[in-house]
Structure 1
Amino acid sequence: MTRRPTISDVAAAAGVSIATVSKAVNGRYGISSETSQRVLQVVAEMGYESSLVASSMRSRRTGVIGVLVADFEPFSAEIMKGVGIGLRDSSYDLLAYAGSRQGDSEGWERRSLSRLSGTLIDGAIVVTPTVVTTSAEVPIVVIEPHTGHADNPTIESDSFGGALQATRYLVELGHTRIGFLGGRPDLRSDGLRDAGYRRGLAEAGIPYDPRLVRSGFYQEAAARGPAVSLLTLPQRPTAVFAANDLSAIAIVKVATELGIDVPRDLSVIGFDDIPEASQMNPPLSTIRQPMQKLGGAAAGLLLALMAGESPEATRIRLPTRLVKRATTAPPRRA
C-alpha cells in the first residue's frame, strides 16, 4: 500500500518549513505569492490532503456538511443528490453518514451527531430523525421528522395532500374497494398518508374498512407478507394505495405471483417516485414528492443558518404531484 504524503513530505519537497506549507494550504498571510504557488504545485503533484480533524482543531471549521441518514436506501439517496446540488456553488464538501447500524435504531441521530459535530462537520442535515429535539455543537436542519414537528428548522413534503391526491385518483377511475398499505403507524408521515387516504374515501362516500388496511413498514421485503394478506382476501381490493414506492413495488410483484394482472385486475399507486418507479414493468403510478428539492432546500436553509442569518421560514412544506403511469386503470367490470 502506498503511504499517503504528509505535510513533512511536502515541506521537504518544496524546500520550506512545515509552517510555510500550512500557511499556503490554508491561504494565510505571511508568505510570498511565489512561495505559495511553489508549495501548492508540490501539494498537487504529491496528492497531499490536510487532515480534517487537524484543521478543525486549529480553526474550528472543517468545510464539511454532514447528511445523516438511518440507512442508505432510495429515498435518502435522492435526498443526498439534492443536498449535493444545493452545495454545488458553496465552499462546502458533503459527508454522508448512516447511523443506525449499531444497537437500537431509536436515537441514532444523537449518537451520530455526538461523533461528528465539532470535529468533522460544520453543520448537519438529519433525514427522518426518530426524536423531535436534536441538539449539537453545529447548526442542524431536519428533513421529514418521524414523530412530529422538530424543534429544529424542518423541511417536509405534503404527505396528507399527496395521499388525498392518490385516493381521489383511484376513486375517479371508478374504484370503490381501495386498500391501503401503510408504512409504520408510529411515524408522522404514515399517519398523514393514512389520514389523506381516509379523507379521500370520505369525500366519495366510501366507508372506511379496516380489513383493507395493512402496514408494510416502508420496506419492500417487509411489505410482501401484508401484500399477500391483502390480495388473498375473499373480497380483495380492486386498487391499493401504498405509502411508499417500495411497498407498491412489493404489491405489484406479489400480484404477479398470484396471477393477478396489474392494472387490469388490480390498480396500484405508490408514493415517492423513486427512480425504480419509472423503470419497473409496468411503470408505477405514484405520488411524486420532490426528494431532491427537499435536499436542496435543506442545504440552502443550513447555509443561511451557518452564515449567521435568520431565515424568515424555518418550517417548509413542499407540494407533491400525481404521476400517472401504467399500474392504474378503471376496475374491470364483471
Structure 2
Amino acid sequence: MARPTIHDVAAAAGVSVATVSKAVNGRYGISASTAQRVLDVVHELGYESSLVASSMRSHRTGVIGVLVADFEPFSSEILKGVGAALHHSRYDLLAYSGTRQRDSEGWERRSLSRLSGTLIDGAIMVTPTVVSASTEIPVVAIDPHTGRADLPTVESDSFAGAMQATKHLIELGHRRIGFLAGRPDLRSSIAREAGYKRALSEGGIAFDPRLVRIGLYQQETSREPAVELLSLPDRPTAVFAANDLSAIAMVEVASRRGLSIPRDLSVVGFDDIPEASQMNPALTTIRQPMQNLGASAAHMLIALMAGDEPEHMHVRLPTRLVRRQTTAPPATA
C-alpha cells in the first residue's frame, strides 16, 4: 500500500495543499473547524509529513537521537529512560547504531555529522569514544570516554559502587578477590578499578595485579579472562565484575568448571540489568539507575535545545548494593 501524501490528504479533506500544511503545523490562517477536518483525515489516512522536508522548512525535526554502539542491556535501559522522559514532550526518539563503523574510534562524530541538521535536533551519546564534538546541535554524553569532557555528561558513581561491591565481599570474609575490568577507554571502568583497589586497601588487603583481567564489558569477551582467573594456582574465592554481562560470563565459566556459586566462588556484578535478577542463582550486583541516566540526559538535552542552561552540566547519580544469591562467605572461612 502506497504511503499517503499531502496531496491525498488535501483531496480527501476538500482543501488545498497549503491548508493541509497550515493545519498539520499548527499555523494561523485557517478556521478551527477546517483544521480539525484536515487533522481527522490525517489520522484516518495515517499521513505523516517527511522529517527531512519538515527540517528543511523549519530547521527543526522534533526528534532527539540516541547514539549507541550496540543494543545491549545497558543501552536498552538507557533508551527506556529517555523514552519515558520524552513521553509528555514534543520530541520523538530515534535510536541509532552506526553498525558499519562503531568499532572504530570517533564513530559518534561521523554519526552526528550524518544525522544532525536533517533528522535530529539534539543527540545523546551512550558510552562514547569521544567527549568532544563539533556539531550544530546540542549533545549530551552518558558514561563518557576517559578524556576531558567538553560535553555535558551524565554518569553513575562508579567509584563508590565498586567500593560497595568489594567491601561486601571483604565483609563476607574473602581475601583473594579478583576483578574483571571493563573498557579501559571509559571513565566508569577506571573508576571501578580504583574503587576496587581503595576497598582492598581500607580492608588491609594488598592489591595483587594477577587477580585482575579485562573483560571489556561484554559477555563474550569476558569468558577467556574468566577462565584465566579461575585457572590460577591460588584462584580467587570471589570476583567483582565491572558489569553484569561480565559477571554472568564468570558464573557460566565457573559452573562449567564444576564450581558451585556461591559456595566455591562468590560473584558481584555492576548495573542490575533485568537478566541479573532472572538468572539462577540471582546475581548480587551494584544497581546503577540506568533509566534515570537516560531521563537525566534527556532533560538536560531539552534544556540545551531550548537555549537554557541546565542546572548542572555534569551529573553523577548514586549507586547501591543489591544482595542476591551469588555471594556468601568463602568455604574455607
SS at match of 1:217: coil
The answer to whether residue 277 in structure 2 is matched with residue 268 in structure 1 is no
Cα 1:103–1:241 shift into 2, 3 Å: closer
1:100 to partner: Cα distance? 4.5
1:85 to partner: Cα distance? 1.1
The answer to whether residue 188 in structure 2 is matched with residue 193 in structure 1 is no
1:204 to partner: Cα distance? 1.1
SS at match of 1:305: helix
Partner of 2:256: 257
Partner of 1:121: 120
1:185 to partner: Cα distance? 2.3
Identical residues among aligned pairs (%):
74
Alignment partners' CA distance in 1, 2:20 and 2:256: 65
Alignment partners' CA distance in 2, 1:56 and 1:63: 9
1:178-327 map, 5 Å? 178-327=177-326
Alignment partners' CA distance in 2, 1:93 and 1:191: 34
1:304 to partner: Cα distance? 1.1
Alignment partners' CA distance in 1, 2:73 and 2:170: 29
SS at match of 1:287: strand
Q: For residues 112-149 of structure 1, what are the alpha-carbon distances to aligned partners after superposition, in whole Å with 9 as ceiling and x for unaligned?
A: 11111111111111111111211311111111102234
Alignment partners' CA distance in 2, 1:171 and 1:86: 39
Conservation of the 8 A alpha-carbon contact between 1:100 and 1:108: no
| Gap runs ≥5 in structure 2 | none
Alignment partners' CA distance in 1, 2:279 and 2:99: 29
Conservation of the 8 A alpha-carbon contact between 2:177 and 2:238: yes
Alignment partners' CA distance in 1, 2:44 and 2:96: 30
1:104 to partner: Cα distance? 4.5
SS at match of 1:65: strand
SS at match of 2:93: strand
The answer to whether residue 100 in structure 2 is matched with residue 79 in structure 1 is no
The answer to whether residue 49 in structure 2 is matched with residue 50 in structure 1 is yes
1:184 partner amino acid: R
2:269 partner amino acid: G
SS at match of 1:66: strand
Q: For residues 296-332 of structure 1, what are the alpha-carbon distances to aligned partners after superposition, in whole Å with 9 as ceiling and x for unaligned?
A: 1111111111111112311110011011000000001
| Gap runs ≥5 in structure 1 | none
Conservation of the 8 A alpha-carbon contact between 1:154 and 1:314: yes
Q: Count matched residues.
A: 333
Alignment partners' CA distance in 2, 1:70 and 1:255: 29
1:186 to partner: Cα distance? 2.9
Alignment partners' CA distance in 2, 1:121 and 1:292: 21
The answer to whether residue 23 in structure 2 is matched with residue 18 in structure 1 is no
1:20 partner amino acid: T
SS at match of 1:152: coil
Alignment partners' CA distance in 1, 2:72 and 2:135: 25
TM-score normalized with structure 2 length: 0.98
Partner of 1:145: 144
2:84 partner amino acid: I
Cα 1:201–1:236 shift into 2, 3 Å: same
Conservation of the 8 A alpha-carbon contact between 1:141 and 1:301: yes
